[in-house]
Amino acid sequence: MNGSFPAVSRTHLVLIPSYNPGPKVYETVRSARAQWTPVWVVVDGSTDASLKGLQDMATRDDGLRVLVLPHNVGKGAAVLHGLDSAAAKGFTHVLTMDSDGQHPAPLIPVFMAASAAQPAAMVLGKPVFAADAPRLRVNGRKVSNWWANLETLWAGVGDSLFGFRVYPIAPLREVMAGQRWMRRFDFDPEAVVRMCWRGVKPVNLPATVRYFRVDEGGVSHFNYLRDNLLLSWMHGRLFAGFVLRLPLLIARRIKGT
């Protein structure tokens, strides 16, 4: 392995779920590897050429591991596959980031340090948008953020949708094992709500986000109708769970925990 890579962490790894990301994934992985070791990529049934390219990269880099799912199962399910594999290797935390280059790899050490300082917490990226960010995406997330804060009784979730974040593995696996949802695009917002319900404290750090145009290699699998319907159904379920947990959440707030 090239000596320019950072020292190997035995507790924290970078986990990148990836589905048909196009060539931008190679830049994403290289940027992540420049900041952290190890980096794992979960290829979620990709049908483009990215799997072979990533596997070729891994043969030349001991700090990169590629996990392969034969069929597309969704972001949350891909993350869960990575969590299970990471737990089996003794890791305690994962930093998740998207494969399309939108997330700020240079901030990986900052987020990992925050996690090491508060290992029981989850470290959530709070996106800082550039002026050219799509207004529909920027404004639309405000609705999901409002619901997530209501459902957690304002526990401090800075942004419910931004996927650049560090999770403690054990409680997240337990949350996901306890129900069959949060396997697709609903993973990020449902994870923060359910982790808050378990008493996992959110720590928010600002993080820049960049949306790439198609001519810049940008790839998006977000479908406004399908994914917004999924989020609406998710928040309906979470609100019902919130009502059932309200006495516990109020008691926890009174105690300051």
In a domain, 3, yes or no: no
Q: Cα(84)–Cα(81) distance, rounded to whole angstroms? A: 5
Given a cut of 90, whether residue 215 has pLDDT beyond it is no
Given a cut of 90, whether residue 167 has pLDDT beyond it is yes
Residues in the chain: 257
Report DSSP letters for 53-88, one per residue: HHHHHHHT-TTEEEEEESS---HHHHHHHHHHHHHH
**3-state DSSP assignment of residue 132:** coil
pLDDT tens-digit profile of 71-124?
A: 999 999 999 999 999 999 999 999 999 999 899 999 999 999 999 999 999 999
In a domain, 192, yes or no: yes
Q: pLDDT > 90: what percent of the chain?
A: 73
Neighbours of 123 (CB within 10 A): 25
Boundaries of domain holding 56: 12-255
Going by C-alpha positions, the residue among 14, 16, 24, 13 that lies closest to residue 210 is: 24
Q: Cα(205)–Cα(127) distance, rounded to whole angstroms? A: 9
Residue 179 pLDDT: 87
Neighbours of 39 (CB within 10 A): 29
Given a cut of 80, whether residue 138 has pLDDT beyond it is no
Given a cut of 90, whether residue 208 has pLDDT beyond it is yes
Give the predicted TM-score (pTM) of the model: 0.89
Q: In sequence order, which residues have a C-beta less than 8 Å from that of residue 88 and are 6 or more positions away?
A: none
Q: Cα(228)–Cα(225) distance, rounded to whole angstroms? A: 5
Going by C-alpha positions, the residue among 153, 157, 132, 150 that lies closest to residue 211 is: 132
Q: How confident is the model at residue 2 (pLDDT cuts 50, 70, 90)?
A: very low
In a domain, 194, yes or no: yes
Residue 58 pLDDT: 98
Q: Cα(122)–Cα(232) distance, rounded to whole angstroms? A: 24
Q: Cα(65)–Cα(124) distance, rounded to whole angstroms? A: 24
pLDDT tens-digit profile of 177-190?
A: 988 889 988 899 99
Residue 132 pLDDT: 74
Residue 1 pLDDT: 42
Which comes out higher in pLDDT, residue 100 or 59?
Answer: 59
CATH number of the domain bearing residue 163? 3.90.550.10
Q: Are 148 and 192 in contact (CB under 8 A)?
A: yes
Residue 3 pLDDT: 45
Given a cut of 80, whether residue 129 has pLDDT beyond it is yes
In a domain, 6, yes or no: no
**Locate tokens 């002026």: which residue?**
131
Mean pLDDT score of the chain? 90
Q: Are 167 and 122 in contact (CB under 8 A)?
A: yes
pLDDT tens-digit profile of 240-256?
A: 999 999 999 999 888 87
φ and ψ at 4, to 5 degrees?
A: -80, -10
Domain count for the chain = 1
**Locate tokens 């998740």: which residue?**
96
